Amino acid sequence: MSSIAQLLDGKALAQRMQAELAEQVKALQKQHGRAPGLAVLMVGDNPASAAYVRNKERACQTVGIVSFGTHFPAETTQAELEQTIWNLNHDDRVDGILVQLPLPDHLDSVALLNQIHPDKDADGLHPTNLGRLVRGEPGLRSCTPAGVMRLLAEYKIDVSGRQAVVVGRSILVGKPIAMLLLEADATVTIAHSRSPDLSALTCRADILIAAVGRQNLITAEMVKPGSVVVDVGINRVTDGTGKSRLVGDVDFSAVQPIAAYLTPVPGGVGAMTVTMLLHNTVWSYSQKF
C-alpha cells in the first residue's frame, strides 16, 4: 500500500486535555474554595513505579490538583496500608486514591484496591466501578481503556458496527476496553494466550487493540489492511550498547504501511492514561457539589 498509517498522537491530545483540565480546576477552586486532591500510594522502590509516580505528580501540578502522595518502605504491612486508605477515604480534601502497582509480594493488592471507596477510586478498578461499567451506568472508568476511547473519538474513528479484537484479558485493560467498545456498539472478540490461531482473529479486526506486554506480538501479516491498530503494550528493551527504550506489542515499522491508524509507543496510549487519571479525580471532585 502506498500510504502509511496516520499516527494517533496521544501526547498532543493529553497536553490539550490537561490545559482544559487546568482551566476547569481553576474555576472549580474559585467556586468551592479548594482544589481537587489525589493521593498516590507507592510501596517500595521499584524504579519503573517511581518514574510513573513522578510523572503523575508532575501532571497533578500542571493542572492544579493537590497531590497527597505517600511513599512507604517495602516492608510496610497490609494493616498499615489499609489504615492509610481508611484515613484517605474519610479525608474531605482527597477526591482520588490510587495504589501504584505492582506491590511487594507480601501485600494483597486486590484486598487493598477493594478498601478504596468506589467514589474515590481514581483508577476505576473497584468491583463497584467495574460493575457500573458492565451495566453501562455512570462511574469512574479504568484510565487506560478510557484513554483509548477518548483517543479514538478525537480522530473521529466511529467504532459502531465495526469488528473489534482485543488481544489481552487483564482486569486493567483487556476486559474494561472490551466493555467500552461493546458499549459503543462494536462487535467485540477477546483473544488471549490460549486462543488458537491468533492471526485468524486479528486479521478480521477493523479495530485491533494489543494489550499483552509482549514485544512484536502483532506482526504485519496479523493486521487487516486499512484497520485501526491501538498498541497498549509497554515493553522496555535494551540494545547491544546497553541503551534501553520503550516499545509496544506491535511491530510498528512493519504494521505502519498496512494500518490506516496506529498509536506510537511512546507517545500514544501512555500519555492518555495519566490524563484520564487526572480527569477521574476532577470528575470525583465535581460529583460532591
Q: Which residues are annotated as a binding site for NADP(+)?
A: 168-170, 234
CA distance 95 to 86: 13
Q: Is 123 a catalytic residue?
A: yes
Residues, the chain: 289
Residue 191: its H or E element: strand 187-191
- Pairing assessment for the beta strands 6-7 and 70-72 based on DSSP bridges: unpaired
**Cell 497533578 identifies what position?**
60
Name which of 129, 158, 147 is nearest 263 in CA terms: 147
Look up residue 228 and give its DSSP letter. E
Q: Is 100 a catalytic residue?
A: yes
Q: Among 95, 100, 115, 251, which one carries the catalytic annotation?
A: 100
Q: Among 123, 206, 249, 251, which one carries the catalytic annotation?
A: 123
Q: Are 165 and 208 in contact (CB under 8 A)?
A: yes
Amino acid at residue number 126:
H
- Cα 76 → chain centroid: 26
How far is the first Cα of the chain from the last one, in angstroms, to the nearest whole number? Answer: 53
Q: Which residues are annotated as a binding site?
A: 168-170, 234
**Cell 502506498 identifies what position?**
2
Q: Is 31 a catalytic residue?
A: no
Show which residues are catalytic: 56, 100, 123
